[in-house]
Structure 1
Amino acid sequence: MKTQRSTTPVRASELTGRAWLNTGDRQLDLEALRGKIVVLDFWSFCCINCLHVLDELRPLEEKYSDVLVTVGVHSPKFEHEADPRALAAAVDRYEITHPVLDDPELKTWDAYTARAWPTLVVLDPEGYIVAHLSGEGHVQGLESLVEELVAEHDAKGTLHRGDGPYVPRPRPEGDLRFPGKSVRLPDGSFMVTDTGHHRLVQLEDDLTTVRRAIGSGTKGWADGPADAARFNEPQGVALLPESVRADLGYDLIVADTVNHRLRGVELSTGAVRTLAGNGVQRLLDDARARGVDPNEVPADAAPTDVALSSPWDVLWSTAADALVIAMAGTHQLFSFDPRTGQLAVLAGTGDEGLRDGAATESWFAQPSGLAQDASGTVWVADSESSALRRVRFDESGAVSRVDSPIGEGLFDFGFRDGAAAQARLQHCLGVAVLPDNSVAIADTYNGAIRRYDPSTEEVSTLTRGLAEPSGVILDDSQDHPVLVVVEANAHRLVRVPVPKDAQTVDEGAAQMQRKRTPIAPGELGLTVRFSAPAGQKLDNRWGDPTQLKVSSSPAEALVEGHGTAQGLTRTLRLADGVSEGVLHITARAAACDGSPDGEIPEHAACHLYQQDWGIPFTVSDDAESELTLELRGLD
């Protein structure tokens, strides 16, 4: 079956931005890419879904290296992401092997009407747009489309085979490369996840002398002895309680982020084993295609048969008597009991955003750092909402409530101390609890360590000028409070004394500076376009396999049309007097392998297509009363 495309081709817009990376200083344009199939990947380096897509595209880029060119169009969400040095570091950190256009003013983003991270736009060898896709999970459809375009343009003589324009950048040298998190070991040394080298490194107390490495340093997945085991961008690491370690035969649990697994490490030998995760990235609602509860983890499932999604940090919770996992990829907290192998959703619906309340009602946005205080309360660095979240437990070890001492939502950030209700962070990745029960925050994109005092509900700044601090722990071996900070972009760990008198900084609050979409007052017709890829059909065995979830900020901006229901069309009604806000829209569609005109085979592979949009809008009388989004649109 051929992919259906419009009979009226649309010319691609020129690629404009500040600079190019991975091209050897060559400035590319569409003419330089003529003759190649081009995938424009609109991304931001803060976005976990964008990082998933980078990995999804790698096999496609390798298989079609002579005909396909991926161009990453970096369209920043946060202010820090517009810093060219930060972008260059991200290109190195994530080992991106295709040209990247720095688009800080969102000119190319606007030219291609991108509305969400990630967005993929496919251009044919003659420079026409042939597909516009949102979200992740499109690789199978992309491969079918590439095969079709290769055949078509080979026959026309418009396909040019050969090397693309990618030129690798020099790699930084050193013992550590973009380290993620660390933990202090019983003998006073520190274990750090050497994320960019895909291994663990044990450092002496001086934070510079390497005692040993665990992992071969080659990206991949393999269990075994220290010199043969393989990781893929490990992030979080936790030391198990002594009583638990004795029963299990290993000491550390590592969040092996891009492998979507938890790994166990025995300190005496360095041996590595896989504890949980099957290596397949968990899309929260892919279970819907199989007619089961997407949030349910079967009680009898082996932990290595369960799909996880970018576990970013891990913490042993005394209140839950289990490991807590910051599951960044599904915007949730999971629990894992290594004694029984039981995995469960601890808090979060899987919706991306900031919503407080009960465990089953709360929303997170890429949780990335965990710490606990003396009472057992777990503190969470919720990176995409630039928020500090607090998770309380009841006597049974279940989550009783989630709240947000700092943070407003997905699009609000800044650098502001003072009253917590008005304080602002910028993409925080780490937390630690100080001796006085206040909370230190690795405020990553502000390059600072901040402090929240629950007793006064005040926020202050402990230190500034750090290069993307990604983790922070308390070093309690000193006479006075000292923090050990993982300074990711400086490729090191540093000690930061906690000053007696913290600074008070106010550089203001900000919102993401994306163009607002004009919409008419009153009724608004919402349509999300989706077409199943070639070789798939919508999975309607259990009813309509599509779904829309809609809400708004502020919540009172919508008087009709909010909530969750099947179908990809909805009529919304704005409240009278609303002038601007944000629409939060999640679209999902389930499709399975099979002929569009036939039955789905019994053991067919099924796929969940999902995208979250946060669309800033402004109300205008002369604007359109229809809003159309592309979950998977073919032009």
Structure 2
Amino acid sequence: MTSDVSTERMRVRAPELRGRRWLNTGGASLSLAGLRGRIVVLDFWTFCCVNCLHALDELRPVEEEFGDVLVIIGVHSPKFVHEADPAAVEAAVERYGVAHPVLDDPELVTWDAYAARAWPTLAVIDPAGQVVARMAGEGHGPGLASLVRELVAEHEAAGTLRRGDGPYVAPPAPETALRFPGKVVALPGGTFLVSDTAHHQVVELEADLVTERRRFGAGSRGFVDGPADTARFSEPQGLLVLPGGTEVLVADTVNHALRAVDLTTGAVATVAGTGSQLRERVLPGAASAELSSPWDLVWWDGRVVVAMAGPHQLWSFDPASGETTVLAGTTNEGLRDGPPDEAFFAQPSGLAVDDENTLWVADSETSALRRVQRAPAVGAEVGTAVGQGLFEFGHRDGPAAEALLQHPLGVAVLPDGSVAVADTYNGAVRRFDPSTTTVSTLAEGLAEPSDLLVDGDELIVVESAAHRLVRLPIPAGAQVDGAAHTVRRAPTDLSPGAVELRIAFAPPAGQHLDDRFGDPTSLTVAASPPELLVEGAGTATGLTRTLHLSPGVTDGVLQVSVAAASCDDDGGTFAACHRYQQDWGIPVRLAPGADAVLDLDLRAV
């Protein structure tokens, strides 16, 4: 960063790090005093959040480049109740290959101390113990690296920089055949194919779901085509046997690609995606060469449908042409029904198709079961069978309008036409009956079930956190009426009436806002309940907007999505451009005399 920008950096004394326990430190507790002289980056994350997983991937090269001066600390700040479970946090740290210390902060003590508002948020602390930058959302890897270089030069010259090994201590290596398996499909010969996600492989199992027939992939993270024993994946998830039965499509999630496995030769080839994450906003009907966290696959209406978790959309893939096209979703994160080009999804992660050609979607971040129906007379329509929004979840059976799920990742259609849901964070399998519009519970006590497959009168369940596949009979069902949960975040008090929304955005060093073709920003605002927002809803350019909040509503959630584009300073007409995007769901409470301004940071340095 240039010197004139550095003089404008925020400088606030960093609050101490407090939580339940430390992971990846060999049992030691860390303090900012003990880290003095090192650059510290706090990564506020939660393991349900695909944007947080993107940020973890972006931090890896920064960690590697500055390992002797930089300490990254993950502050795990849960959204869902399950994410506060100590064993679940520990499993997530292993599952996603987090190679730095992690502070387990289930009560959001450190989250609140640093005024974090969104997952993920990065806070940068200099060697003197001052917070010098805060960045919300993903896509900040290059800007963070630039800031670290400046801090290194500044504090090395001042004699306040300390080099050496960091406090990370690797945990013991796991010893299970599968490690956090993700999805499963049946193969024509009676065997099953499972994505062995944390081993970065795809495995063929015999009908006993234990005996291995063969593996595809070398077993280390990478993006390499070729023979089965040398090809490399990165956290593969969804699987689909293509028509003909000799080729399987793999959603290679962290490589942001679709890979094809030839079941005859074992060879692996890339059929869509470049290995780089999509950063642009692509709307329904448009095509793109880049993907973003494809999570599941299904054959529907003569094409492959991809649950594209990263941009909160459904895409289609044509195996013949190799073209990928956005099918539904606007990239706004939320729950909104209607035509595909207007619907909101939130991290779709599981897909299935029933005999009536309805596409069922496990929409994980809204804890919802969604459906897409083909209606030729009026066009396709997106609807919600179960689920209430981004911040309402729990374990409750009964009428679908009142039933609650908690971050489901998988879905399957049962023989009677009802829909089974892998209710992942409830450790359960749930059943939605379209004929009665009711929800029941088929099984409980499972360890993060992530996928379901009907095999005769049994369900095969991918029990991801138990590192195994199990069979369950399909029972008549059971009733559960447990407690409902909401996200445990203190609401922001705002005054009813006019409220000024302001988004702070400063391009990183070496970039500028690209306004050659108009305003390069986009701001979308919605509310739950909708009547909270009298004026100011919708999408338009600009980073400020006057909202009018109804005095007749006491509380609710403001849903804000912002995007901005900037380009490199030194590229001229052909400069590389970058897109920054962040979504917030902000619980608000209306109180006369409270603040009439809401400030959010897309990037502040």
Normalised by the length of structure 2, the TM-score is: 0.98
Counterpart AA for 2:298: L
The within-5 A match list for 1:294-373 is 297-298=286-287, 306-317=289-300, 320-373=301-354
CA deviations over 1:12-35 (Å, ceiling 9, x no partner): 011111000000110111111111
- In structure 1, the residue matched to 2:602 is 631
Q: Secondary structure at the match of 2:152?
A: helix
Identity %: 60
The within-5 A match list for 1:51-130 is 51-130=53-132
The CA deviation at 1:567 is 1.1
| Pair 1:33–1:458, CA change in 2 (3 A) | same
Partner Cα separation in structure 2 for residue 487 and residue 194 of structure 1: 12
Matched, 1:168 2:186: no
The within-5 A match list for 1:195-344 is 195-242=197-244, 250-285=246-281, 297-298=286-287, 306-317=289-300, 320-344=301-325
- In structure 2, the residue matched to 1:616 is 587
Aligned with 2:32 (options 30, 37, 42): 30
Matched, 1:493 2:469: yes
Q: Secondary structure at the match of 1:46?
A: coil
- In structure 2, the residue matched to 1:562 is 537
Aligned with 1:451 (options 426, 431, 436): 431
CA deviations over 1:383-405 (Å, ceiling 9, x no partner): 00000001111359x96111011
Q: Secondary structure at the match of 2:33?
A: helix
- In structure 2, the residue matched to 1:288 is none
My pick for the range that moved more, 444-453 or 617-626, is 617-626
Q: Secondary structure at the match of 1:86?
A: helix
The answer on whether the counterparts of 2:75 and 2:103 sit within 8 Å (CA) in structure 1 is yes
Partner Cα separation in structure 2 for residue 339 and residue 543 of structure 1: 38
Partner Cα separation in structure 2 for residue 315 and residue 539 of structure 1: 39
| Pair 1:168–1:153, CA change in 2 (3 A) | same
| Pair 1:399–1:427, CA change in 2 (3 A) | farther
Partner Cα separation in structure 2 for residue 7 and residue 220 of structure 1: 37
Partner Cα separation in structure 2 for residue 153 and residue 344 of structure 1: 48
Counterpart AA for 2:533: L
The answer on whether the counterparts of 2:235 and 2:254 sit within 8 Å (CA) in structure 1 is yes
Partner Cα separation in structure 2 for residue 122 and residue 7 of structure 1: 11
The answer on whether the counterparts of 1:5 and 1:130 sit within 8 Å (CA) in structure 2 is no
Normalised by the length of structure 1, the TM-score is: 0.93
Partner Cα separation in structure 1 for residue 553 and residue 212 of structure 2: 59
Partner Cα separation in structure 1 for residue 454 and residue 583 of structure 2: 36
The answer on whether the counterparts of 2:284 and 2:341 sit within 8 Å (CA) in structure 1 is no
| Pair 1:536–1:26, CA change in 2 (3 A) | same
My pick for the range that moved more, 619-628 or 580-589, is 619-628
Counterpart AA for 1:297: A
Counterpart AA for 2:237: Q
The CA deviation at 1:5 is 4.0
The answer on whether the counterparts of 1:581 and 1:616 sit within 8 Å (CA) in structure 2 is yes
Partner Cα separation in structure 1 for residue 35 and residue 283 of structure 2: 42
| Pair 1:7–1:83, CA change in 2 (3 A) | closer
Partner Cα separation in structure 1 for residue 569 and residue 123 of structure 2: 25
The answer on whether the counterparts of 1:235 and 1:312 sit within 8 Å (CA) in structure 2 is yes
The CA deviation at 1:342 is 2.4
Aligned with 2:195 (options 193, 196, 199): 193
Counterpart AA for 1:252: V
The answer on whether the counterparts of 1:334 and 1:345 sit within 8 Å (CA) in structure 2 is yes
Partner Cα separation in structure 1 for residue 484 and residue 66 of structure 2: 45
- In structure 2, the residue matched to 1:505 is 480
Partner Cα separation in structure 1 for residue 121 and residue 581 of structure 2: 12
The CA deviation at 1:576 is 2.2
Counterpart AA for 1:489: A
CA deviations over 1:445-503 (Å, ceiling 9, x no partner): 00000001101111111110000000101012xxxx2000000010000001111x311
- In structure 1, the residue matched to 2:409 is 429
Counterpart AA for 1:572: L
Aligned with 2:458 (options 482, 487, 497): 482
My pick for the range that moved more, 253-262 or 615-624, is 615-624
The answer on whether the counterparts of 1:24 and 1:167 sit within 8 Å (CA) in structure 2 is yes
The answer on whether the counterparts of 1:438 and 1:452 sit within 8 Å (CA) in structure 2 is yes
The answer on whether the counterparts of 2:283 and 2:330 sit within 8 Å (CA) in structure 1 is no
Matched, 1:542 2:517: yes
Q: Secondary structure at the match of 1:72?
A: strand
CA deviations over 1:488-525 (Å, ceiling 9, x no partner): 010000001111x3110011221111110011121111
The answer on whether the counterparts of 2:397 and 2:480 sit within 8 Å (CA) in structure 1 is yes
Partner Cα separation in structure 1 for residue 64 and residue 593 of structure 2: 48
Gaps of 5+ in 2: none
CA deviations over 1:582-603 (Å, ceiling 9, x no partner): 11111111100006xxxx6122
CA deviations over 1:360-411 (Å, ceiling 9, x no partner): 1111000000011011111100000000001111359x96111011000000
Partner Cα separation in structure 2 for residue 376 and residue 251 of structure 1: 23
The answer on whether the counterparts of 2:294 and 2:306 sit within 8 Å (CA) in structure 1 is yes
Superposition RMSD on alpha carbons, in Å?
A: 1.4
Q: Secondary structure at the match of 1:28?
A: coil
The answer on whether the counterparts of 1:284 and 1:294 sit within 8 Å (CA) in structure 2 is no
Aligned with 1:406 (options 362, 374, 386): 386
Aligned with 1:517 (options 489, 492, 498): 492
Partner Cα separation in structure 2 for residue 375 and residue 385 of structure 1: 25
The CA deviation at 1:562 is 1.4
Partner Cα separation in structure 2 for residue 437 and residue 355 of structure 1: 25
Q: Secondary structure at the match of 1:329?
A: coil
The ranges of structure 1 where at least 4 consecutive aligned residues each deviate by more than 6 angstroms after the TM superposition are none
Partner Cα separation in structure 2 for residue 234 and residue 258 of structure 1: 7
The answer on whether the counterparts of 1:532 and 1:591 sit within 8 Å (CA) in structure 2 is yes
Corresponding residue pairs, total? 603
- In structure 2, the residue matched to 1:289 is none
CA deviations over 1:305-352 (Å, ceiling 9, x no partner): x010000000111xx200000000010000111012222111111110
Counterpart AA for 2:202: L
The answer on whether the counterparts of 1:121 and 1:133 sit within 8 Å (CA) in structure 2 is yes
Partner Cα separation in structure 1 for residue 368 and residue 9 of structure 2: 47
- In structure 1, the residue matched to 2:154 is 152
The CA deviation at 1:8 is 7.0
Partner Cα separation in structure 2 for residue 114 and residue 413 of structure 1: 22
